[in-house]
Chain A
């Protein structure tokens, strides 16, 4: 059973470009979480999604950031018009459907560098 997959692992963008980060949850998992980690800091919650639904996006910046988890395909975290302050590691986690503990399994992360 493959773990949580994220791609790309490293992404370099120039200011003003768009960044698209992909996350494929573990098989059988229908809940996805996105986190952002700045250097020397802990992970900060951004958004929680179920298939085709955004459940909680209270941690997402109000502008330029969006997330989706379509019926088919991976979850996408999209950052428009990136700025240097968006440089960080972005982690995705997944968990099984309701009915059990919500232990989250994390992917390896995508390191975004904005030049």
Chain B
């Protein structure tokens, strides 16, 4: 499983765009990049998943450069409710290809949004 490295913590003011970068130098060809969000006392919540270039949904964007050795989660105009821990995971999500997300979440990035 590819190891990931993220900043331990980040602070941002309300209304700003936040970019959290994750390094995964050993990513494999079949691996996808998945981001989860976890609020205190809750289970992680899926945010976004991608393989290459850019993926966007109603919550966030995910930017993946051509070499795929890193990825950036972009949260537009954060609010206080975005204060949470964000986890970057790398793995093969397609079980019919023999893979499954047997993952160990790292310590994640603790985002604190400041009013």
Contacts and interface: CB of A to CB of B under 8 A. Distances in A.
Given A42-B106, A42-B108, A43-B105, A102 B100 contact: yes
Contacts of B46: 103-105
Contacts of B96: 98-99
B101 A102 contact: yes
SS of B interface (majority):
loop
Interface residues of A, number: 32
Contacts of B105: 35, 37, 42-44
B71 interface: no
Contacts of B41: 108-109, 111
Contact of B43 (A42, A55, A106): A106
Interface of A: 4, 31, 33, 35, 37, 40-45, 48, 55-56, 58-59, 91, 93, 95, 98-109, 111
